[in-house]
Amino acid sequence: MILDKTTLSSLGINLSDTEAKAFIEHFEETLQQRVGLEIFNLLDDEKAQELVALQESADEKTINEWVKAHVPDYEAVVQDEFDILMGEVADNAELVAA
Amino acid sequence: MAVETAPNPTAYDSTQDYNALQNPHALRSIDPGQEGWGPTTEIDTNLKPTDELLPVVAPETNPTEQVGRHRVAGNTAPDYSATEVVNKYRSEHAAFIDRYHTEAGPRNPDRFITRMGLKIGQFAERMAERRTVKQTIAETTRKGLDIATKVGGSIMKEVKLLGADTKANAKEIGGTVKTIKNESVEAVKSRWQKRAEAAQERRQTRRQQRDQARAELRDLTQQRKEASRAVWQKRREIAGQKLETVNKAAKTVGKSALIGAGVVVGLPIAAAAVGTYYGVKGGVALDAKLANLDGKAIRGGVALDAKLAQLDSKVIGKGLDLDAAVSRWVASKGRKAVSYAGTTAKVNKAAYHYVMSGRHERKAAEHRGKLN
């Protein structure tokens, strides 16, 4: 996983294995959500509707090909959302660790 | 004994009691010896509007004397006049009475109940609607987030931020888990915070570019619409100008000039208009010619008629009635004479000469003599 217990520790967040696992899962889900929302935000209404319809019927490969075609800088989107979320974790490290 | 007199609209038919409060004579409606509802002889100053009213029994004896006076059955306490009861009740429960007046109108507490019932019903309905709306929004939002999460997760796998081998690939992508030995917690936090700030700036730039692109698209669409509108406007203007030219030409140089000019060919609207105009103009011209022709014909006719008239007048001027003469001559000669004459002209001529010779009178006389 992209975020692990070591990374959390480097931010001063020392959690038990169970807590760390739950937090990382929450982190990943949040990140996936934000990446998806940002991708939708970058699409016009017509394309967004198209993607909604596609994700209901197509497999991941098809969805990814579609996103690549319509959001050329999708990798940068993912990277930035990850960095932003990590920044938020850093900002709230003490609360998370408490 | 505490006697409760406050009407409880939810527990009984309060109309009667309320009417009694408003009009003490309403107490007469309680038949002697029967249970009824109404203000009683004792007033509990601690009454609440929601207290339940107890039944009272009207006096069994001397009902006439007891009119306007009331007591609870079995109660030996001094009676009070209904007016006193009402006044005291009013003074003690002014707020409650006022509420009846203000919210339900006088003497109709049931209406208040009804209205409250409706209000409650409407309120419940609206709340249900709101719940439905909120639920719909929540479900929609949840669904939207689920979709976003699914798409985001799929893309993250694509860039290998998630999955079995993500750790190694993640380092390649952004070095996001790269750590520096002996780096302090604050330093790590600061590093992530700076990265986050830079990422937010990029995200902001990306969104601005998206907004700009959308705005440009809107502008372009608008420009195309305006350009299209301008083209049509220009076409209409040109058509209008050509039509105007045609009209002017038609008015000034006439039909032949129009044909010679050969205008508005290939411009359907104008051509149609010109065709109409042309037709009208031609029609007018034709009509005019016909009119002229008619005029000439008429004039000719008039002239002809005049000539005939002159001829007639000449004939008449000689004191001869040609028609009468001819008729007489034809009559005198009979069908054979006509047949002999061959033509009307000859007949006319023969008749003329016959008349002019004066013989017709003689012949006519002879003919009359024969007839006689």
Q: Cβ neighbours of residue A44 under 8 Å, at least 6 residues apart?
A: B214, B217
What pLDDT sits at residue B366?
A: 63
Give the one of A36, A84, A89 whose C-beta lies nearest to B200's C-beta.
A84
Compute the 3-state secondary structure of chain A and give helix, strand, coil in percent, each to the nearest 5: 80, 0, 20
DSSP result, B206-220: HHHHHHHHHHHHHHH
Length in residues, chain A: 98
Provide the residue-wise pLDDT of chain B in tens; the chain has 372 residues. 334 444 444 444 444 444 444 444 333 334 444 444 444 434 444 444 444 443 333 444 433 333 333 334 444 444 444 455 555 555 655 555 555 444 444 444 444 334 444 444 455 566 566 666 666 666 666 777 788 888 888 888 777 665 444 444 444 444 444 556 677 888 888 989 999 999 999 999 988 888 888 888 888 888 777 777 777 777 667 666 666 665 565 455 444 433 333 333 323 333 333 333 333 333 333 333 333 433 343 333 333 334 444 444 444 344 344 444 544 544 554 444 334 434 444 445 555 555 556 555 566 556 556 544
3 state DSSP class of B66: coil
Higher pLDDT, B139 or A33: A33
Domain spans of chain B, in order of start: 14-107, 320-371
CB atoms within 10 A of CB B327: 12
- Residue A97: band (very low, low, confident or very high) from pLDDT cuts 50, 70, 90: confident
Cα B106 to chain centroid distance, Å, stands at 43
What pLDDT sits at residue B302?
A: 36
Which chain B residues are Cβ-neighbours of A41 within 8 angstroms?
A: 207, 210
Task: Report whether pLDDT(A74) > 80.
Answer: yes
- Residue A32: band (very low, low, confident or very high) from pLDDT cuts 50, 70, 90: confident
Q: Distance (Å, rounded) from C-alpha B209 to C-alpha B310?
A: 104
ipTM: 0.88
For A58, name the nearest residue in chain B, comparing CA atoms only: B151
Distance from the Cα of B155 to chain A's closest Cα (Å) equals: 6
* Substitution target from A25, A50, A64, A78 for chain B, most B beta carbons within 10 A: A78
B147/A35 Cβ within 8 A: no
- Whether A36 has its CB under 8 Å from any CB of chain B: the answer is yes
Model confidence, pTM: 0.42
What pLDDT sits at residue B156?
A: 81
DSSP result, B319-358: T--HHHHHHHHHHHHHHHHHHHH-SHHHHHHHHHHHHHHT
B154/A60 Cβ within 8 A: yes
What pLDDT sits at residue B200?
A: 92
Which chain B residues are Cβ-neighbours of A6 within 8 angstroms?
A: 179
Q: Which helix (H) or strand (E) holds B293?
A: helix B268-317
- Whether A11 has its CB under 8 Å from any CB of chain B: the answer is yes
The answer to whether B350 and B329 are in contact (CB under 8 A) is yes
Task: Report whether pLDDT(A65) > 80.
Answer: yes
Task: Report whether pLDDT(A53) > 90.
Answer: no
Half-sphere exposure of B80 (CA within 13 A, CB side): 16
- Whether B207 has its CB under 8 Å from any CB of chain A: the answer is yes
Give the one of A11, A32, A91 whose C-beta lies nearest to B152's C-beta.
A32
Which residue is listed with tokens 């001829």?
B311
* Substitution target from A27, A51, A84 for chain B, most B beta carbons within 10 A: A84
B185/A93 Cβ within 8 A: yes
The encoded tokens of residue B369 equal 């003599």
Residues B225-233: contacts with CB within 8 Å, 24+ apart? none
